[in-house]
């Protein structure tokens, strides 16, 4: 594998990891929002 | 002039600092031991489903998610601690850490964050008892089984099996906020199922364990003794598997199926006893997974309202 291809692969991995982290953070925020709604009896 | 060619092994050897490792998202997922997690999630869900009381569907989903994440976190920390012996075994040498795709600290941090998060969310969304049981399961798996027992005694999976037995009890506690005799019966079922399940695997992977210095029973006491112990445990499973029906946590369908499945499990152990090779052990390992899955599936089916409305039977 050439050094150039390895660098591309590295960039691709970093990008996909950042996207996954963003999705995870959004998921956690949504989860806490929904839990709060249920616990407060707004959505029962 | 073309750039110099590097193979992946050379690149892995050149990694010295955490910044040199760029694990893929799939590597983080692999740390969670997804195949183990699937059984944990399923048994946790059934415990939650069988428990008396009502839980909002969203909170039920959160409870199952916390059980899954907590189990995955324990798996990640286990992989961090066992990266040296994982590199020596065929079954585990392709995992992200021994394969050089991830820095050890990343795996430990990932596992620790997930472990703490899962316990906090369980406590906030459900109740302190379920959160405490989840924390206990994670601590037991990491400190008692992985660090304390696995490399020291052939009884590692007998005592350590308790860690995998917690999920249905956690699911039950998520609904009721307490530990009951019925939830302890579910715990006991997985606890006594674990030794014959893992010993079946270790019979045909004995070479791997010996190479890594893990004192599994076939390595320390020999295959004949292991087969005898497996057979004994399948007999213990008969009353243990029947217990949920005797405690009225399930109905007649589960009770009958538990007897039939336990008899088949004992027959598998007898086949292993007679087999000089590995074939029966491989078959028993496969059947042990089916055995536990079917028992828990039948518990859920048995309790599904209206599903077994057969005249003359009070399901």
* Residues within 8 A of A (CB atoms), B 28-57 only: 28, 56
Instruction: Answer for the pair B273, B228: CB distance below 8 angstroms, yes or no.
Output: yes
pLDDT tens digits, residue range B223-261?
999 999 999 999 999 999 999 999 988 888 899 999 999
Percent of chain B at pLDDT exceeding 70: 90
CB–CB contact A3 B2 (8 Å): no
Pair of tokens at residue B175: 């609904």
Confidence band, pLDDT 50/70/90 cuts, at residue B18: low
Is B82 part of any domain?
A: yes
Is B124 at the interface with chain A, CB within 8 A? Answer: yes
User: Which letter does DSSP use for residue B118 in this model?
Assistant: H
pLDDT tens digits, residue range B69-79?
999 999 999 99
Complex ipTM tops 0.90? no
Closest CA of chain B from A26, distance in Å: 15
Is B145 in the same domain as B288? no
Is B256 in the same domain as B168? no
Is B168 in the same domain as B115? yes
| Boundary (domain end) residue, out of B179, B203, B219 | B179
Is B175 in the same domain as B188? no
Q: Mutation target for A interface from B6, B100, B127: give the one with most A CBs within 10 A.
A: B6
Nearest CB partner across the interface for B4, out of A3, A38, A44:
A3
Q: Rounded to an integer, what distance in angstroms lies between the CA atom of residue B261 and that of residue B248?
A: 19
pLDDT tens digits, residue range B77-125?
999 999 999 999 998 999 999 999 999 999 999 999 999 999 999 999 9
Pair of tokens at residue B54: 């009502």
Is B310 at the interface with chain A, CB within 8 A? Answer: no
User: Residue B187 contacts by C-beta under 8 Å, 6 or more apart in sequence?
Assistant: B162, B165, B166, B168, B169
Among chain A residues, CA nearest to B23: A13
Q: Rounded to an integer, what distance in angstroms lies between the CA atom of residue B107 and that of residue B118?
A: 16
Q: Rounded to an integer, what distance in angstroms lies between the CA atom of residue B249 and that of residue B90?
A: 42
pLDDT tens digits, residue range A14-42?
898 899 999 999 999 999 999 999 989 88
Is B54 part of any domain?
A: yes
CB–CB contact B6 A20 (8 Å): no
Whether the per-residue pLDDT at B12 is higher than 70: the answer is no
pLDDT tens digits, residue range B130-152?
999 999 999 999 999 999 999 99
Instruction: Spell out which residues of chain B touch residue A34, defining contact as CB-CB under 8 Å.
Output: 58
Is B156 in the same domain as B209? no
Q: How many domains does chain A have?
A: 1
Nearest CB partner across the interface for A14, out of B7, B22, B62:
B22
Is B16 part of any domain?
A: no
CA proximity to B80, closest of B119, B114, B120, B107: B107
Instruction: Spell out which residues of chain B touch residue A27, defining contact as CB-CB under 8 Å.
Output: none
| Boundary (domain end) residue, out of B179, B213, B240 | B179
CA separation, residue B181 to residues A6, B169, B184 (Å)? 57, 10, 5
Q: Mutation target for A interface from B1, B7, B11: give the one with most A CBs within 10 A.
A: B11
Is B15 part of any domain?
A: no
Is B195 in the same domain as B277? yes
Q: Rounded to an integer, what distance in angstroms lies between the CA atom of residue B112 and that of residue B106?
A: 10
Nearest CB partner across the interface for A1, out of B6, B58, B124:
B6
Among chain B residues, CA nearest to A44: B56
Pair of tokens at residue A40: 């407060």
| Angle formed at CA B17 by CA B12 and CA B18, multiple of 5 degrees | 90
pLDDT tens digits, residue range B170-224?
999 999 999 999 999 999 999 999 999 999 999 999 999 999 999 999 999 999 9
What is the DSSP secondary-structure string of B1-46?
Answer: -PPPB--HHHHHHH--SGGG----HHHHHHHT-HHHHHHHHHHHHH
Q: Residue-wise over B110-121: b if at least 16 C-beta within 10 A, else e?
A: bbbebbeebbeb
Is B255 part of any domain?
A: yes
Q: Rounded to an integer, what distance in angstroms lies between the CA atom of residue B56 and that of residue B246?
A: 29
Q: How many domains does chain B have?
A: 2
* CATH code of B147's domain: 1.10.357.140
Q: Rounded to an integer, what distance in angstroms lies between the CA atom of residue B158 and that of residue A33?
A: 41
The pLDDT of residue B310: 45
Look up the domain containing A14 and give its range: 1-44
Is B162 in the same domain as B231? no
Among chain A residues, CA nearest to B10: A1
* CATH code of B277's domain: 1.20.120
CB–CB contact A35 B125 (8 Å): yes
User: Which letter does DSSP use for residue B146 in this model?
Assistant: I
Look up the domain containing B224 and give its range: 180-315
Is B18 part of any domain?
A: no
Instruction: Answer for the pair B238, B259: CB distance below 8 angstroms, yes or no.
Output: yes
CB–CB contact B25 A14 (8 Å): no
Residue by residue, what is the 3-state secondary structure of A5-39? HHHHHHHHHHHHHHHHHHHHHHHHHHHHHHHHHHH
Q: Mutation target for B interface from A6, A11, A20, A35: give the one with most B CBs within 10 A.
A: A35
């Amino acid at each position: 594998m050439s050094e150039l291809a390895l660098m591309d692969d590295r960039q691709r991995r970093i990008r996909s990891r950042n996207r996954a982290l963003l999705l995870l953070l959004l998921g956690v925020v949504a989860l806490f929002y929904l839990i709060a709604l249920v616990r407060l009896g707004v959505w029962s | 002039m073309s750039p110099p060619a590097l193979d992946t092994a050379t690149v892995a050897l050149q990694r010295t600092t955490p910044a040199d490792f760029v694990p893929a998202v799939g590597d983080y997922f692999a740390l969670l031991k997804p195949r183990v997690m699937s059984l944990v999630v399923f048994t946790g869900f059934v415990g939650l489903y069988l428990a008396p009381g009502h839980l909002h569907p969203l909170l039920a989903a959160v409870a199952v998610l916390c059980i899954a994440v907590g189990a995955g976190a324990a798996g990640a920390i286990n992989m961090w601690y066992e990266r040296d012996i994982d590199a020596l075994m065929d079954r585990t040498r392709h995992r992200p850490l021994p394969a050089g795709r991830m820095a050890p600290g990343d795996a430990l941090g990932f596992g620790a964050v997930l472990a703490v998060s899962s316990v906090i969310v369980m406590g906030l969304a459900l109740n302190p008892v379920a959160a405490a049981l989840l924390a206990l399961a994670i601590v037991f798996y990491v400190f008692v089984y992985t660090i304390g027992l696995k490399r020291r005694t052939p009884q590692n999976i007998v005592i350590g099996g308790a860690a995998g037995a917690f999920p249905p009890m956690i699911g039950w506690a998520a609904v009721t906020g307490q530990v009951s005799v019925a939830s302890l019966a579910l715990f006991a079922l997985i606890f006594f199922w674990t030794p014959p399940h893992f010993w079946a695997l270790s019979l045909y992977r004995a070479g791997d364990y010996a190479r890594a210095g893990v004192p599994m029973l076939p390595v320390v006491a020999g295959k004949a003794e292991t087969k005898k112990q497996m057979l004994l445990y399948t007999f213990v499973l008969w009353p243990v598997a029947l217990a949920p029906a005797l405690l009225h946590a399930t109905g007649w369908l589960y009770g009958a199926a538990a007897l039939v499945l336990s008899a088949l499990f004992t027959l598998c152990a007898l086949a292993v006893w007679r087999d000089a090779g590995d074939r029966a052990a491989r078959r028993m390992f496969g059947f042990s997974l089916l055995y536990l899955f079917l028992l828990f599936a039948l518990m859920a089916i048995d309790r599904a309202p209206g599903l077994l409305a057969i005249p003359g039977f009070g399901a």
